[in-house]
Amino acid sequence: MIHPGRVYLGLGSNLGDREGNLHDAIEALRHEPGFVYLNRASIYRTPALGPDAGDEFRNTVVAGLWSGSPESLLDLCHRIEDRCGRDRPYRWAPRTLDIDILFWNGVEMSTPRLRIPHPDLCQRAFALVPLLELAPDLFGDDGCSLDASLTGELLGQGIEAVSTGACRV
């Protein structure tokens, strides 16, 4: 069962010490007032998407509880990205850290700054596979079609676990 306030954040890095960047971001989240860290998925190696996207990524998903607004969580994610040296010269640019709000139990929203659930979640194995590792029963009938999504094209995106995460929450 998913509890109110539970959020799932997708973390990715394809510059520098990629796994180290993920661990630094998780530590920053763990020490942030208002965020209660629950768990993380395995770390996955995935190819970069988009033109000029750079080297392969390391990706994971973190589960937590957030006591603030969706916008304040987005602001927190951007501050952590900035502290990890994130530069945004153009879309799809290589990055030391990217943190996306993938899913928030009970929250659906669409603003110019933020869409929840993440609009591309069901097309991205690097987000969906670790998310389902943590919460395999997350999506109901109104979610994306997971049976169709996890076959064919999605599994052909080249995702591979490189380290294990903790157990499910």
The pLDDT confidence band at residue 155, using thresholds 50, 70 and 90, is low
The predicted structure's pLDDT at residue 21: 95
The CB-side HSE value for 130 (13 A sphere, CA atoms) comes to 32
The answer to whether residues 11 and 98 touch, using CB atoms and an 8 Å cutoff, is yes
Number of domains in the chain: 1
Which CATH number characterizes residue 81's domain? Answer: 3.30.70.560
- Name the catalytic one among 6, 18, 40, 98: 98
**80 token code pair:** 């952590």
pLDDT digits (tens, 9 = 90+) for 10-69: 999 998 999 999 999 999 999 999 999 999 999 999 887 766 667 888 999 999 999 888
Quote the pTM value: 0.84
Q: Is residue 168 part of a domain?
A: no
- Token representation of residue 79: 């501050």
Q: Alpha helix (H) ranges present in the chain?
A: 18-30, 70-83, 125-134, 146-149
Confirm whether 98 is a catalytic residue: yes
Beta strands in 91-140 (DSSP E): 98-104, 109-110, 115-116
Asked if residue 117 belongs to a domain, the reply is yes
pLDDT given at position 44: 93
Q: What is the mean pLDDT of residues 150-158?
A: 59
Q: What is the mean pLDDT of residues 144-165?
A: 62
Active site residue 100: yes
Of 95, 115, 120, 124, the catalytic one is 95
- pLDDT at position 89, please? 62
- Name the catalytic one among 86, 87, 88, 147: 86
What confidence tens digit (pLDDT) does each residue in 74-99 have? 999 999 999 888 877 666 677 889 99
Residue for token digits 């919460």? 135
What percentage of the chain exceeds 70 in pLDDT?
Answer: 78
Domain membership of residue 101 (yes or no) is: yes
Asked whether residue 29 is domain-assigned, the answer is: yes
Of the residues 6, 18, 58, 100, only one is catalytic, namely: 100
